[in-house]
Amino acid sequence: MNYKLFLLLMFCSLFTGCSNTSVPIASIGTAGSTTGYHSIRVMNIKDMTGANAGFGYGAVSSYPGKSADISSIGIPNYIGGYWAKYNADEDGFAAFYRINKTIDSNLAKQKIETLRNYYKNHKTFNASMQLIVDGPRIRLYYTMNCFSYRMDCSPKENADPNNWIIHQSNDATQLVLLFDGIGEVSDTPFPGSPYDK
């Protein structure tokens, strides 16, 4: 093996800068719900390098209701946090939820790469992750924020052989689903959670 190539490979193994697992894929995080008012107090997404993005935006009621800068995060491999469903009749919470799960980072990476290579002309540095809570169900999406009403979102030929690309009902933008899970449910706050007073 070439000595210089060997040194380069050693350097890459020591510092993950040469690995595409450390490449930032999103800098904006959004959160919301499609089934009414919820509260997201703590919600963390970690990527394969251990970088963390927080989606604990408080009250959410629409899709995607809240938005914030999440610095830069790579391929996700963990989701953990607490959220609750508002009880509209009693000015309180109807149920409490928590989750602590691994995300299939290999599948997430394939889906993200499919979307990043999907468009003929659209390129963006404004990609985002969207977190949606609906009762105990929690989903994490990735979007390149190509808005059909003002951008050319034409796909390349055979760009989605696995049918991973999701088109919103109004075809505003395209997404891929990175995680879809069900959290634990309780009628009372989980001990040690942000809702436990």
Q: Which residue has the tokens 């879809």?
A: 180
Only one residue has tokens 């929690």, namely 138
Q: Quote the pTM value.
A: 0.84
186 has pLDDT over 70: yes
Percent of the chain residues topping a pLDDT of 70: 85
Query: Strand 128-134 and strand 26-32: pairing?
Result: parallel
State mean pLDDT over 27-47: 92
CA–CA–CA angle 175, 112, 149 (5° rounding): 35
Secondary-structure percent of the chain, ordered helix, strand, coil, rounded to 5? 15, 45, 40
Q: At residue 19, does pLDDT exceed 50?
A: no
Quote the CA–CA distance of 154 and 122 in Å, as a whole number: 8
β-pair partners for 57: none
Mean pLDDT value across residues 21-50? 86
SS3 113: helix
Least confident of 9-13, 75-79, 120-124, 178-182: 9-13
Asked whether the predicted pLDDT for residue 27 surpasses 70, the reply is yes
Higher pLDDT, 168 or 75: 75
* CB atoms near residue 18 (< 10 Å): 12
25-29, 60-64, 96-100: which is most confident:
96-100
Tokens of 163: 């049918």
> What is the mean predicted confidence (pLDDT) over 163-189?
91
Q: Is the pLDDT of residue 10 over 60?
A: no
Instruction: Write out pLDDT tens, residues 81-101.
Output: 999 999 877 778 999 999 999
User: Residue with structure tokens 């449910």?
Assistant: 185
Neighbouring C-beta atoms of residue 25, cutoff 10 Å: 22
Average pLDDT, the chain: 84
Per residue, what are the HEC states of 137-160?
EEEEEEECCCCCCCCCCCECCCCC
Secondary structure (3-state) at 197: coil
What value does the mean pLDDT take over residues 7-24? 41
Spatial separation of the C-alpha atoms in residues 43 and 188, rounded to whole Å: 19
- pLDDT tens for each residue of 132-150: 999 999 999 999 988 877 7
Q: What is the DSSP letter of 62?
A: S
pLDDT at 7: 34
